[in-house]
């Protein structure tokens, strides 16, 4: 085997460069330790075939980010001038030299790649563990998470040929680990069934007893009930991990809570990686997401993006590349899933985040929930330092935290904090610096003060009435807040499109500048939830804070903020 690959090295390298270049490996990424709760069980079987993905360095990522900011900043002359599919791909596409260099290395090893993304910056290979260990100086092993029995094959470090530095960004999955915890929102209570809407003076009068409803959200945020009119406008919700909605439950929800709407209103299905639409297997997350988009963004064409596969990180990537493959992707995409940032390899998180930048440059608003563990990650967990959540940690998306009570205060589970991977973006420099001055040395060492702060905004997130299995459940989490914001952005887009204007695209440069004054600043509450440091978390305060972001929406003010 070794002999054969040596011959190939000589052949391929002489073909590419005209001379023989020995491959010197260099460590590319390494993880200091096994993620919390995982155990190394032993080496992976040498014959196990791995599906590895390779990111080839994009032509001009810096240029892409510059364009993203330029077209997303209201004061810019290019505001709203989104890129076409081809224009965005020109930034993301790898340089032909990089493609040749990576493919030469692969063919030396007898491997052929398939192209996985429209821009060609992701390719895939199938490779047995023995060969992967060899060519990547890796040690692919079996890791288990005893609490749930989850097993996975990963390595704690890998190397690439040093001459491929600058051509090859990363190999995945290598040092990224799957999230062992469920990502669905906690159910606070079963409210009963079949559901009935109680009538009372104010739409929010019963919120503490009966839970949050579309009528109360419409009242609280001034969300219009009048039907949207633009048929090219679309609002998508993504679902992972076998979460499906049931049309009958959606119909019951609309009959109960939106009697003014056509109760047969439904979502179109967009399947990725063989994602299903199982009407007989309702999930609460999917029920929540569909009911609070269809039921709030009145008459905006809604899309149910169902993503198959077991690996959430891969599913996130495949979702982004499938959307990029569309000539007209949905203008708003709401995702109520995330995971602890440190489970992802830094290079993979960076690459995925750049892929989100590409969608932003195409005019897509990406909205993610900020997690339900306060300062301790996606779901509350033991932590010695605060645990940020991805994709909320990515500066090119909009992260949504949660509030409770009326008038609103921060709710303690609202995910928030600072990324350990991504630096603070320019658009939030002032807002975050002000907050850091306010907290002074409190909690120093527990968070990364130079990191991207999240969430960006927030919305009510407690006890949403959700119909599933013909029952009504009270569901809480930032999973409630993300579709609420997404629906509001979709309704703003409807009015913008009707007025012949571009949609809102990447929201943050607007939200942190002229948009901030169209929000209700949430100034009370805290998101304390970190293991041994219980009762330590960030306080909400005047201005931006890493609990409720800039605040909650006011539809009429947002409309005037976008010039309508």
Q: Active-site residues: which are they?
A: 285, 289, 479
* Least distance (Å) between residue 91 CB and ligand NAG: 7
Nearer to ligand NAG, 302 or 459 (CB): 302
Q: Which is nearer to ligand NAG, 139 or 514 (CB)?
A: 139
Smallest Cα–Cα separation from 191: which of 475, 479, 480, 483? 475
Listing DSSP states for 475-495 in one string gives E-SHHHHHHHHHHHHHHHHHH
CB-CB contact of 454 with 392 (8 Å): yes
The least distance separating ligand NAG from the CB of residue 504, rounded to whole angstroms, comes to 26
Provide CB contacts within 8 A for 2, sequence distance 6+: none
Q: What's the CA gap between 550 and 523, in Å, rounded?
A: 10
Binding site, annotated residues for Ca(2+): 521-522, 543, 545
Dihedral sign computed on CA atoms, order 550, 352, 174, 134: negative
| Residue stretches of the annotated binding site | 521-522, 543, 545
Could you list the residues that contact ligand NAG (CB under 6 A)?
25-27, 59-60, 90, 95, 137, 139, 157, 159, 246, 248-249, 262, 264-265, 278-281, 438-439, 442, 469-470, 539
Residue closer to ligand NAG (CB basis): 366 or 522: 522
**Residue number with CB closer to ligand NAG (469 or 524):** 469
Which residues lie across from 303 on neighbouring strands?
236, 268
Largest CA distance in the chain: 83
Least Å distance between CB 265 and ligand NAG? 6
Taking each helix axis as running N to C, give the angle between helix 247-257 and helix 284-294, from 0 to 180 degrees, rounded to the nearest 10.
50
Q: How far is CA 134 from CA 15, 139, 247, 362, in A?
A: 23, 9, 51, 40
Is the CA virtual torsion 419, 420, 425, 428 positive or negative?
positive
- Least distance to ligand NAG from the beta carbon of 200, Å? 27
Least Cβ distance, residue 362 to ligand NAG (angstroms)? 17
Report d(CA 40, CA 38) in Å as an integer: 7
CB 246 within 8 A of CB 468: yes
C-beta closer to ligand NAG: residue 89 or 339: 89
């Amino acid at each position: 085997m070794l002999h054969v690959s040596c011959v190939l090295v000589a052949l391929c390298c002489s073909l590419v460069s005209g001379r023989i270049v020995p491959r010197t490996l260099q460590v590319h990424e390494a993880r200091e330790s096994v993620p919390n709760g995982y155990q190394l069980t032993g080496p992976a079987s040498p014959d196990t075939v791995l599906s590895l993905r390779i990111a080839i360095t994009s032509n001009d990522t810096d240029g892409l980010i510059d364009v993203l900011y330029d077209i997303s900043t209201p004061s810019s002359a290019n505001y709203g001038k989104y890129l076409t599919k081809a224009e965005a791909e020109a930034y993301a596409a790898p340089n032909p030299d990089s493609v040749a260099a990576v493919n030469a290395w692969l063919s030396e090893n007898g491997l052929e790649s398939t192209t996985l993304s429209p821009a060609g910056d992701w390719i895939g290979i199938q490779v047995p563990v023995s060969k992967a260990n060899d060519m990547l100086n890796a040690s692919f092993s079996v890791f288990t998470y005893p609490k749930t029995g989850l097993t996975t094959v990963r390595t704690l470090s890998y190397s690439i040929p040093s001459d491929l530095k600058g051509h090859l960004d990363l190999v995945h999955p290598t040092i990224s680990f799957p999230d062992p915890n469920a990502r669905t929102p906690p159910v606070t209570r079963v409210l009963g069934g079949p559901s009935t809407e109680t009538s009372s003076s104010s739409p929010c009068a019963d919120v503490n007893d009966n839970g949050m409803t579309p009528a109360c959200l419409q009242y609280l945020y001034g969300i219009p009930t009048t039907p949207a009119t633009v048929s090219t406008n679309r609002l998508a919700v993504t679902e992972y991990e076998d979460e499906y909605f049931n049309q009958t439950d959606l119909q019951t929800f609309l009959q109960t809570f939106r009697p003014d709407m056509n109760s047969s209103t439904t979502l179109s299905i967009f399947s990725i990686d063989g994602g299903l639409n199982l009407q007989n297997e309702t999930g609460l997350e999917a029920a929540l997401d569909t009911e609070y988009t269809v039921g709030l963004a009145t008459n905006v064409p809604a899309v149910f993006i169902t993503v198959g596969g077991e690996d959430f990180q891969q599913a996130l990537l495949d979702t982004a590349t499938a959307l990029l493959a569309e000539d007209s992707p949905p203008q708003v995409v709401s995702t109520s899933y995330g995971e602890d940032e440190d489970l992802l390899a830094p290079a993979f998180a960076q690459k995925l985040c750049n892929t989100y930048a590409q969608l932003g440059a195409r005019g897509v608003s990406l909205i993610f929930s900020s997690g339900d563990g306060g300062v301790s990650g996606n779901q509350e967990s033991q932590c010695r330092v605060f645990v940020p959540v991805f994709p909320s940690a990515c500066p090119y998306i909009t992260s949504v935290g949660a509030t409770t009570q009326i008038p609103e205060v921060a709710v303690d589970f609202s995910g928030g904090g600072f990324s350990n991977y991504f630096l603070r973006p320019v658009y939030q420099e002032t807002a975050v610096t002000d907050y850091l001055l306010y907290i002074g040395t409190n909690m120093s060492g527990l968070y990364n003060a130079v990191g991207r702060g999240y969430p960006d905004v927030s919305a009510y997130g407690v006890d949403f009435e959700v119909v599933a299995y013909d029952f009504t459940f009270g569901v809480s989490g930032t999973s409630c807040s993300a579709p609420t914001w997404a629906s509001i952005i979709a309704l703003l887009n409807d009015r913008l499109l009707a007025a012949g204007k571009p949609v809102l695209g990447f929201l943050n440069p607007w939200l942190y500048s002229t948009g901030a004054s169209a929000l209700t600043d949430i100034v009370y509450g805290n998101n304390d939830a970190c293991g041994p440091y219980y009762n330590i978390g960030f306080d909400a305060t005047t201005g931006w804070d890493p609990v409720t972001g800039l605040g909650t929406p006011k539809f009429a003010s947002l409309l005037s903020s976008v010039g309508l």
